[in-house]
């Protein structure tokens, strides 16, 4: 058993020891854990009198959990605090870890043991959670190639190892291209239109590089305000082009070009699916999801696209006319869209994102978020202490009735060496072990602008309303992970939840960002301390569905591209990935990006994340989340308060607490008392006649 506590990756007593971690810890820890796991597997492969949960599943789970937790720390740090030394250690060990998981999933002796357990008289006496874990394991062994002949198993394992390396390289290329780019502006007059706090952040960034003027990067909080506010059109075009071509053949650095990586990933996924007896990778991807066939997903997306298209066409017509008449832009280009949209919104609704942002300082937002979930779910969130990977990371604990139920790290700001985007990941899951409950721990990661020092005084970070929504979204994932009551690791929290249902709690939480009862408690003007005025709130709500047709079509476009890429696209054929994307756009979109746009080269969700043939999950789950939230709207109609503790208790009991212990559709129906309906989503999006 691995007990070298000098190596923090081998200490599973409590929380990760980030303060003691060094990249040189990785290889000895992973090697020791792999040795231990192989020994356990070898022992479990041997004949046994009878296969039971205690004799077979429990020891396998205990060993693999430790490997998963240790490698999870390494992967997390690779995403949030990348250094050359850590990257080297990660890439050195990734093939070994991938090979182990692949061999585990192909182990015919273990597969036979699971089948024996499923067929045994003792299976019926197992809890529903343990039955679900066994059923999931049987499914995953089949998807892992356990039934393949040996020569095909070998090839399958090679594919998994290569795919893991390619996905990592894809992500690293995007990160390196993002970190490498810098746009320096010396003359402040060229930044006309930009808000003061954006200029201040750019000035600080330049100073940190020892340079005069202003520095802009391809990290979202830096480049997007240029697109949204900069009056100088050529400046917008420069930053748009840099962002739209990063990690591509047009990006300037051949070593970061993801073109061939994309093609190889698609070829390997196609080969993997054929080995497993499927026609395409989309079919493989959908086996553990709610949706059953690629055609079902495509029909869902095309139907949503048809419903959204008239609204999107109207959005574009309005924007084009406005840009021409009011801004003198005769031909609306991609780098004009965010700028013209912001100007149109300001004219129509008489407010700007920048004005709203002044009311959302970080401390007040966090306080308001915690207040909401405490009232909804009868929990308490308190500051806690733990070693972290960066000085800006905060740590908290969640208690219910005085008992610890979960803990989480909050890493909010963009910085060099940190992957872009926002996500929740689990540090450990809830389980009962040795007579006590191991409580879950989550990582909550965002990429917002950090606090700045202006005029000699530190100012808290200010969030746009979109960033507040992002924070609520990730916290919803965190609640799903931390408020589970299931005590079996394989189906507690987000584990075992169908991928196309996993966004339900996160998108559900977004809705509260539009409620007056919630916002009035989480706003405080950066200068005056005044809460958000009701008049400004009313304008925000009026503008809530501004361009929702365009936004919906954009998501449908991405999801259809992903599904067709893995369903009926031939990576060995003459058609390029770009040509497929262009086809989808001309069929679905009303706003077509320029020919140099290489969106797919940084589409990390499907090439470096878990969303291959699964990006549709965002819209699929949005149907569930909008319908689930309508239960709170119904409560508000009856009681006058959308923050309903009664509805919150039911949501917690039937959705959050259940984790993956039963099908997501059953959990939804237990909460709503019926099948989900698309009506609430269309209503929330303003796409009803």
- Catalogue the active-site residues: 474
Q: What is the distance, to the nearest Å, from the Cα of residue 197 to the centroid of all Cα atoms in its chain?
A: 27
**If 0-12 CB within 10 Å is exposed, 13-18 middle and 19+ buried, where does residue 45 land?**
middle
How many CB atoms are located within 10 Å of the residue 37 CB?
19
Residue 453, strand partner residues: 458
Nearest CA-CA partner of 112 in 141, 73, 140, 81: 141
Residues 207, 219: Cα–Cα separation, whole Å: 17
CA distances from residue 135 to 132, 148, 150, 662 in whole angstroms, order as listed: 5, 19, 24, 11
What angle do helix axes 334-349 and 534-542 make, rounded to 10 degrees?
130
Taking CA atoms, 622 is separated from 301, 337, 401, 669, in Å, by: 12, 25, 32, 15
d(CA 347, CA 326): 10
Residue 597 DSSP label = -
> How far, in Å, CA of 205 to CA of 198, rounded?
11
Give the strand pairing for 380-383 and 394-400. Answer: antiparallel
Element of type H or E holding 477 = helix 465-482
Indicate the burial class of 586 (C-beta count within 10 angstroms; 0-12, 13-18, 19 or more): exposed
Give the 3-state secondary structure of residue 590: coil
CA atoms of 476 and 372, how far apart (whole Å): 12
Question: What is the residue whose two structure tokens read 């591209």?
Answer: 561
Query: Are 126 and 52 in contact, with CB atoms under 8 Å apart?
Result: no
CA dist 598 and 251 (Å) reads 9
* Buried-exposed string 68-106: b where 16+ CB fall within 10 A, e elsewhere: bbbbbbbbbbbbbbbeeebbebbeebbeebbbbbbbbbb
Cα–Cα distance, 349 to 393 (Å, whole number): 36
| Cα radius of gyration (the chain) | 25
Backbone angles phi and psi of 427, in degrees to 5: -85, -35
In whole angstroms, what is the distance from residue 395 CA to residue 384 CA? 5
Distance CA 414, CA 232 (A): 25
CA distance 73 to 21: 10
Range list of H helices, 291-443: 294-327, 334-349, 353-357, 362-377
**Can you tell me the distance from the alpha carbon of 412 to that of 444, in angstroms, rounded to the nearest whole number?**
8
Spatial distance between the Cα atoms of 672 and 655, rounded to a whole number of angstroms: 10
For the chain, the residue count is 689
Q: Provide the β-strand partners of residue 452.
A: 459
HEC sequence for 63-117: HHHHHHHHHHHHHHHHHHCCCHHHHHHHHHHHHHHHHHHHHHHCCHHHHHHHHHH
């Amino acid at each position: 058993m691995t007990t070298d506590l000098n190596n923090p990756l081998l200490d599973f007593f409590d929380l990760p020891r980030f303060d003691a971690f060094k990249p040189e810890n990785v290889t000895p820890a992973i090697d020791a854990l792999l040795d231990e796991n192989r020994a356990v597997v070898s022992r479990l492969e041997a004949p046994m009198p009878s296969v039971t949960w205690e004799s077979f599943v429990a020891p396998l789970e205990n060993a693999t959990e430790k490997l998963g937790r240790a490698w999870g720390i390494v992967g997390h740090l690779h995403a949030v605090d990348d250094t050359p030394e850590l990257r080297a250690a990660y890439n050195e060990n990734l093939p070994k870890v991938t090979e182990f998981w692949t061999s585990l999933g192909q182990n015919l002796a273990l597969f036979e043991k699971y089948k024996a357990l499923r067929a045994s008289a003792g299976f019926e006496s197992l809890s529903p959670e343990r039955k679900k874990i066994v059923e999931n394991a049987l499914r995953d062994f089949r998807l892992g190639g356990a039934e393949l002949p040996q020569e095909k198993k070998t090839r399958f394992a090679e594919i998994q190892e290569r795919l893991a390396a390619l996905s990592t390289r894809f992500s690293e290329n995007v990160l390196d291209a993002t970190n490498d780019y810098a746009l320096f502006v010396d003359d402040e007059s060229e930044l006309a239109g930009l808000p003061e706090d954006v200029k201040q952040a750019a000035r600080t960034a330049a100073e940190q590089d020892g340079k005069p003027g202003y520095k802009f990067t391809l990290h979202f909080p830096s480049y997007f305000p240029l697109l949204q506010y900069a009056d100088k059109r050529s400046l917008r075009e420069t930053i748009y082009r840099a962002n739209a071509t990063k990690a591509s053949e047009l990006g300037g650095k051949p070593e970061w070009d993801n073109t061939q990586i994309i093609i190889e990933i698609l070829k390997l996924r196609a080969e993997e699916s054929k080995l497993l007896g499927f026609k395409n990778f989309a079919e493989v991807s959908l086996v553990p999801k709610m949706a059953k066939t690629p055609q079902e997903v495509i029909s869902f997306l095309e139907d949503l696209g048809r419903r959204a298209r008239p609204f999107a066409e109207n959005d574009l017509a309005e924007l084009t006319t406005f840009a021409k008449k009011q801004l003198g832009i005769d031909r609306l280009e991609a780098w004009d869209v965010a700028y013209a949209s912001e100007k149109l919104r300001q004219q129509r609704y008489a407010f700007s994102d920048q004005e709203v942002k002044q009311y959302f300082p970080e401390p007040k937002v966090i306080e308001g978020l915690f207040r909401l979930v405490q009232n909804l779910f009868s929990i308490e969130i308190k500051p806690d202490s733990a070693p972290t990977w960066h000085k800006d990371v905060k740590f908290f604990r969640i208690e219910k009735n005085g008992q610890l139920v979960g803990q989480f790290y909050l890493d909010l700001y963009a910085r060099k060496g940190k992957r872009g985007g926002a996500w929740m990941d689990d540090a450990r899951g809830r389980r009962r072990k040795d007579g006590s409950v191991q409580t879950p721990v989550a990582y909550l990661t965002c990429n917002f602008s950090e606090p700045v020092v202006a005029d000699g005084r530190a100012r808290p970070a200010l969030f746009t309303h979109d960033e507040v929504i992002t924070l609520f979204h990730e916290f919803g994932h965190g609640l799903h992970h931390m408020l589970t009551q299931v005590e079996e690791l394989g189906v507690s929290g987000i584990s075992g939840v169908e991928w196309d249902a996993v966004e339900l709690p996160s998108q559900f939480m977004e809705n509260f960002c539009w409620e007056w009862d919630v916002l009035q408690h989480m706003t405080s003007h950066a200068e005056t301390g005044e809460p958000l005025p009701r008049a400004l709130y009313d304008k925000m709500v009026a503008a809530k569905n501004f361009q929702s047709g365009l936004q919906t079509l954009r998501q449908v476009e991405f999801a259809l591209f992903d599904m067709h890429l893995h369903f009926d696209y031939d990576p060995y054929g003459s058609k390029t990935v770009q040509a497929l994307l262009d086809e989808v756009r001309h069929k679905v979109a009303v706003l077509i990006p320029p020919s140099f746009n290489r969106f797919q080269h940084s589409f990390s969700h499907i090439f470096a994340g878990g969303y291959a043939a699964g990006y549709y999950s965002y819209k699929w789950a949005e149907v569930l989340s909008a319908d689930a939230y309508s239960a709170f709207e119904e409560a508000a109609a009856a009681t006058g308060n959308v923050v309903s503790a009664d509805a919150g208790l039911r949501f917690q009991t039937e959705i959050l607490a259940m984790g993956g212990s039963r099908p997501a559709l059953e959990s939804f129906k237990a909460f709503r008392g019926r099948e989900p309906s698309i009506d609430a989503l269309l209503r929330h999006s303003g796409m009803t006649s």
